[in-house]
Amino acid sequence: MIRIPVEASRNYEVLIERGLLDRAGTEVRAATRAGSAVLVAGENVWPLYGARVRRSLEEAGLRVLSFVIAPGESNKTLETYGSLLRFLSENRLTRSDVLIALGGGVTGDLTGFAAATYQRGIDFIQIPTTLLAMVDSSVGGKTAVDLPTGKNQVGAFWQPALVLCDPDTLRTLPEEEYRCGSAEVLKYGVLGNAVFFEELLRTPIREQEEHVIETCVTMKRDIVRQDEFDRGLRQLLNLGHSFGHAVEACSGFRVLHGQAVAIGMALIARAAAAKGICTPETRDAIVEGLRRTGLPTETEYPLAELAAAVSMDKKLSGSTMHLIVPVEVGRCETITVPLAAIPGWLRAGGVR
């Protein structure tokens, strides 16, 4: 088993091992003092793994309740969040109990936010079943729900008590979702690990899943340790996200998060090259890496529409925005630009 310790306002471990779902109860028992657990899962994940995880938890002596949600970003709302809170209250969950998120990033974000706010804070555990959640969203303590005006507009920093990654769950992940996770994996290479980026081009992720998860989680762990509350260094993890979130919003979330991040990375790489921040060779390496992984690198949404969506992004600071820009593969920097300059950056990235 791979164990990665995470040091934050609450210390915890990320465990990576095939077959780990069957020991979920034992690990939950070791990490918390809970008597009851609420297992939160999406409608698509519950039939695959819900009964298996529930059985493991019950065998460890926990009282287990389940809360199943509709899948997809469009359901990461205040309404779903409110329904979960009412469920917890009606079933008399206390601060000594635990919430468990079984699924992808939407489930983890929603469950984590409910945990952060229910009775001013209750433990929660992440059991990610998507590549994207394993390598990125399950670690670091960002929790949130969306508003009609934008993604992740309401949330809290709330670290999990434990993260359990069982790569065997990736066998049932649809190919489109797997590629979405690949976008976040490539992001880590572009962000700060050129050797890893080259490894990803030589060897498919499916042939090195444990190594990929461990590398990405370790990189994120190191950044979170230095900037847990996203005031400086951690903003680098937003590479591709500012423009990507705008693409998601314009699509009504029909474009999946990983697809949007890939588009956002391609746009910012082209803009960086156009502005002389990186070389054309760096731009081409990033765009080609995304294409070879089967990810989109273009958007048909018009400039004005995307710029308006960017203006609603939560990463705005007053009338400025922090853009994460590649300097070379393996090194990025943060550039602060006025909101009025965003259309120019989008245009330089190829948006018309």
The CATH number for 158's domain is 3.40.50.1970
Q: Indicate if the pLDDT at residue 312 is higher than 90.
A: no
Q: Indicate if the pLDDT at residue 314 is higher than 80.
A: no
**Do residues 265 and 157 share a domain?**
no
State the average pLDDT over residues 3-13.
Answer: 97
- Overall number of domains in the chain: 2
Q: What is the pLDDT of residue 293?
A: 94
**Do residues 186 and 288 share a domain?**
yes
The band of 181, judged by pLDDT with boundaries at 50, 70 and 90, is very high
State the average pLDDT over residues 39-45.
Answer: 97
pTM for the full model? Answer: 0.95
**Do residues 182 and 159 share a domain?**
no
Instruction: Mark out the alpha helices in 74-208 (DSSP H runs).
Output: 78-90, 105-117, 131-132, 175-192, 194-202
Domain with 90, as residue range(s), is: 2-172
**Do residues 184 and 324 share a domain?**
yes
Cα 117 to its chain centre, rounded Å, is: 20
Tell me how many helices (H) and strands (E) the chain has.
13, 12
Q: Indicate if the pLDDT at residue 316 is higher than 80.
A: no
The band of 126, judged by pLDDT with boundaries at 50, 70 and 90, is very high
Q: What is the pLDDT of residue 318?
A: 77
Q: Indicate if the pLDDT at residue 100 is higher than 90.
A: yes
**Do residues 116 and 43 share a domain?**
yes
Q: What is the pLDDT of residue 330?
A: 97
**Do residues 259 and 340 share a domain?**
yes
**Do residues 123 and 242 share a domain?**
no
Q: What is the pLDDT of residue 6?
A: 98
Strand partners, 331: 328
State the average pLDDT over residues 44-51.
Answer: 98
The H-or-E segment that residue 161 falls in is none
The band of 191, judged by pLDDT with boundaries at 50, 70 and 90, is very high
**Do residues 285 and 247 share a domain?**
yes
C-alpha to C-alpha distances, 214 to 134, 163, 217, 306, nearest whole angstrom = 9, 12, 5, 34
C-alpha to C-alpha distances, 215 to 179, 241, 287, 333, nearest whole angstrom = 18, 20, 22, 21
Interval 251-309: pLDDT, tens? 999 999 999 999 999 999 999 999 999 999 999 999 999 999 999 999 999 999 999 99
Q: Indicate if the pLDDT at residue 145 is higher than 80.
A: yes
Strand partners, 38: 65, 99
**Do residues 202 and 308 share a domain?**
yes
Strand partners, 162: 125
State the average pLDDT over residues 62-81.
Answer: 96
Sign of the alpha-carbon torsion through 143, 146, 151, 156:
negative
Q: What is the pLDDT of residue 62?
A: 97
Whether 329 contacts 195, CB under 8 Å:
no
Q: Indicate if the pLDDT at residue 315 is higher than 80.
A: no
State the average pLDDT over residues 312-329.
Answer: 88
State the average pLDDT over residues 165-189.
Answer: 97
Q: What is the pLDDT of residue 149?
A: 87
State the average pLDDT over residues 327-338.
Answer: 96
* Residue 201 dihedral angles phi and psi, to the nearest 5°: -75, -30
Q: What is the CA radius of gyration of the chain?
A: 20
Instruction: Mark out the alpha helices in the chain (DSSP H runs).
Output: 24-31, 51-59, 78-90, 105-117, 131-132, 175-192, 194-202, 209-226, 241-250, 257-274, 280-292, 303-310, 342-348
Looking at 172, 189, 205, the residue that finishes a domain is: 172
Q: What is the DSSP letter of 294?
A: T
CA dist., res. 235 & res. 203, Å (int): 29
Averaged pLDDT of the chain? 96
Q: How many other C-beta atoms are found inside a 10 Å radius of the C-beta of residue 249?
A: 24
